């Protein structure tokens, strides 16, 4: 364990740059336990960082102690048993590289520089969600250091309540120092970007095609104004487009068949969908310096022409430098897990939407926040609440509750009381151990 004054791994979002009093760089579970014990003794605020990609900036802390897990990035793959053991600070790129060397994979996110632990503890939506479920659905066991400094092994037989809670409940219950995943055979995929005109017809049709597609196919439709990128014809720059990112987890011929309905929606502006290794989906992203952003996410049960029109209307109305609506069709393997089986309980929701914009000047924040709220309200016409915890910004306790529907919240509070009664782990989308302010 080493203690340093500067963060070893930067946070993704420059909006959330911060200065902890100390960064405790941990290499083992015992390092984490020692840091936690000292934080308790000295009454320090504690933040935990794996990949640094918290959308709400929850792994950034001013003052207090940052437990930095970046050195715990080991990955061990057992190709015979199809399992991988992953350190609590590993990135998806590290896990994917190790598993793909054996033609195997476990569901991760859609970019490779997020942390395995941060993404998995909240649920984990990626390119394999309809075929193999969420990242957290593939966790077989975990090692967790709890607020009292114990290093616990948890799985379906031991500390079952904790095992249930960490699959969706985020970092509320302790620091995950190791996760064991189930792996699946995945030699290659058919995937890439299909760029289509951003009309209401195409947006509605694309969502319908994604829902009708075989479970091997998962994707994201990004509706946005076309940026001046080299692969986009100049005539399209500034026009509304759908940048559909598609992944078919199966052989090339079946993939081509599954993709035909998408290609038939309109003459593609660009078609880069092709057979490739799974890792090919994770090309390094353009470095976008996010200065200010306003974003909202929600689940939907209906997506019709009126919703598609609302998407077009709100994107056109945005005055930000960039605005986007991201649409994901759910279902398949992730929907077959019973709602009560894990702390991620939104199993029956059909779609997930995220709307957001980026801009430069904090003074414009109220305008853009109002835009994002209005956009989300226009999509949520059924009035049913629900949000994915890892896509929450800093939106207050009511929105955190929306992440845990029905009896899930009460059960999480019980588990929190058992493992972290003093709410040491509160720099997260917090589940307080007692009602009222934490």
Ligand X SMILES: Cc1cc2nc3c(=O)[nH]c(=O)nc-3n(C[C@H](O)[C@H](O)[C@H](O)COP(=O)(O)OP(=O)(O)OC[C@H]3O[C@@H](n4cnc5c(N)ncnc54)[C@H](O)[C@@H]3O)c2cc1C
Residues 46-105 binding ligand X (CB under 6 A) are 48-55, 58-59, 69, 88
- Kindly state whether residue 115 participates in binding ligand X, applying the rule CB under 6 A: yes
Residues 337-396 binding ligand X (CB under 6 A) are 390
* Dihedral, CA of residue 314, residue 320, residue 322 and residue 325, to nearest 10: -30
Among 35, 105, 128, 176, binds ligand X (CB under 6 A): 176
H/E run at residue 346: none
Residue environment code for 164-190, b if the CB has 16+ CB neighbours within 10 A, otherwise e: bbbbbbbbbbbbbbbbbbbbbebebbb
In DSSP terms, 359 is beta-bridged to 292
* Stretch of 42-50, 186-194, 229-237, 352-360 lying at the interface with ligand X (CB under 6 A): 42-50
* Stretch of 38-46, 116-124, 241-249, 409-417 lying at the interface with ligand X (CB under 6 A): 116-124
Query: Least CB distance from residue 309 to ligand X, whole Å?
Result: 27
* Stretch of 111-119, 250-258, 276-284, 338-346 lying at the interface with ligand X (CB under 6 A): 111-119
User: Could you give the CA distance from residue 161 to residue 307 in angstroms, rounded to a whole number?
Assistant: 39
What backbone torsions phi and psi does residue 346 show, to the nearest 5 degrees?
-80, 60
Q: Are 16 and 394 in contact (CB under 8 A)?
A: no
Decide: helix, strand or coil at residue 91. Answer: strand
# chain residues binding ligand X, by CB under 6 A: 34
User: Could you give the CA distance from residue 122 to residue 136 in angstroms, rounded to a whole number?
Assistant: 8
Q: Which is nearer to ligand X, 114 or 408 (CB)?
A: 114
- Kindly state whether residue 121 participates in binding ligand X, applying the rule CB under 6 A: yes
**H-helix segments, 115-226:** 116-122, 129-132, 160-166, 200-212
DSSP 377-438: HHH-TT------GGG--S--HHHHHHTSTTTHHHHHHHHHHHH-TT-S--SSS---SSSS--
- Kindly state whether residue 122 participates in binding ligand X, applying the rule CB under 6 A: yes
Adjacency order of strands within the sheet including 139-145: 75-78, 83-87, 175-182, 139-145, 151-155
Could you tell me the two tokens for 294?
């306003």
Q: Which is nearer to ligand X, 268 or 409 (CB)?
A: 409
Query: Least CB distance from residue 201 to ligand X, whole Å?
Result: 27
* Dihedral, CA of residue 188, residue 190, residue 195 and residue 199, to nearest 10: -130
Q: Which is nearer to ligand X, 126 or 405 (CB)?
A: 126
164: Cβ–Cβ under 8 A, 6 or more apart, which residues? 341, 342, 343, 411, 415
Query: Least CB distance from residue 388 to ligand X, whole Å?
Result: 7
- Kindly state whether residue 124 participates in binding ligand X, applying the rule CB under 6 A: yes
Query: Least CB distance from residue 56 to ligand X, whole Å?
Result: 8
Query: Least CB distance from residue 300 to ligand X, whole Å?
Result: 17
User: Could you give the CA distance from residue 21 to residue 166 in angstroms, rounded to a whole number?
Assistant: 28
Residues 240-259 binding ligand X (CB under 6 A) are none
Query: Least CB distance from residue 194 to ligand X, whole Å?
Result: 18
* Stretch of 123-131, 187-195, 291-299, 318-326 lying at the interface with ligand X (CB under 6 A): 123-131
Q: Are 106 and 131 in contact (CB under 8 A)?
A: no
* Stretch of 106-114, 231-239, 338-346, 403-411 lying at the interface with ligand X (CB under 6 A): 106-114
- Kindly state whether residue 119 participates in binding ligand X, applying the rule CB under 6 A: yes
Query: Least CB distance from residue 175 to ligand X, whole Å?
Result: 4
Residues 405-434 binding ligand X (CB under 6 A) are 427-428
Query: Least CB distance from residue 36 to ligand X, whole Å?
Result: 11
Task: List residues binding ligand X (CB under 6 A).
Answer: 12, 48-55, 58-59, 69, 88, 109-111, 114-115, 117-119, 121-126, 170-171, 175-176, 390, 427-428
């Amino acid at each position: 364990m080493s203690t340093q004054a500067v963060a070893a791994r930067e946070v993704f979002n420059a909006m959330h740059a911060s200065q902890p009093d100390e960064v405790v760089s941990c290499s083992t579970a015992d390092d984490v336990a020692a840091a936690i014990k000292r934080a308790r003794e000295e009454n320090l605020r504690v933040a935990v960082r794996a990949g640094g990609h918290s959308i709400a900036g929850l792994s950034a802390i001013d003052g207090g102690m940052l437990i930095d897990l970046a050195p715990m990035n080991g990955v061990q793959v057992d190709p015979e048993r199809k399992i991988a053991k992953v350190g609590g600070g590993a990135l998806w790129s590290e896990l994917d590289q190790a598993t793909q060397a054996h033609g195997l994979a476990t569901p991760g996110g859609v970019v490779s520089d997020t942390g395995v632990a941060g993404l998995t503890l909240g649920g984990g939506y990626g390119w394999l969600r309809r075929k193999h479920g969420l990242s957290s659905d593939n966790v077989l066991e975990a090692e967790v250091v709890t607020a009292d400094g114990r290093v616990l092994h948890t799985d379906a037989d031991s500390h079952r309540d904790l095992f249930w809670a960490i699959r969706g409940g985020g970092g509320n219950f302790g620091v995950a120092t190791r996760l064991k995943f189930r792996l699946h055979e995945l030699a290659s995929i058919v995937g890439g970007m299909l760029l289509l005109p951003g009309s209401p017809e195409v947006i509605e049709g694309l969502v319908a095609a994604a829902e009708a597609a075989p479970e091997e196919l998962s994707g994201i439709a990004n509706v946005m104004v076309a940026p001046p990128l080299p692969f986009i014809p100049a005539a399209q720059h500034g026009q509304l487009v759908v940048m559909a990112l598609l992944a078919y987890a199966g052989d090339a011929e079946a993939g081509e068949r599954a993709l035909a309905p998408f290609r038939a929606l309109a003459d593609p502006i660009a078609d880069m969908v092709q057979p490739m290794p799974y890792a090919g989906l994770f090309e390094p992203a353009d470095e976008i310096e996010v200065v200010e952003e306003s974003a909202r996410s929600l689940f939907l049960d209906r997506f019709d022409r009126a919703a598609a029109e609302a998407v077009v209307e709100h994107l056109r109305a945005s005055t930000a430098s960039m605005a986007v609506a991201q649409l994901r069709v759910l279902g398949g393997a992730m929907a077959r897990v019973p709602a009560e089986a894990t702390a991620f309980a939104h199993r029956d929701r059909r779609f997930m939407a995220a709307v957001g914009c980026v801009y430069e000047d904090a003074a414009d924040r109220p305008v853009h926040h109002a835009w994002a709220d209005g956009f989300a309200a226009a999509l949520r016409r059924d009035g049913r609440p629900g949000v994915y915890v890892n896509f929450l910004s800093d939106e207050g306790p009511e929105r955190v509750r929306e992440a845990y529907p029905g009896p899930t919240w009460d059960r999480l509070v019980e588990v929190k009381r058992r493992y972290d009664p003093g709410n040491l782990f509160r720099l997260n989308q917090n589940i307080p151990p007692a009602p009222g302010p934490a």
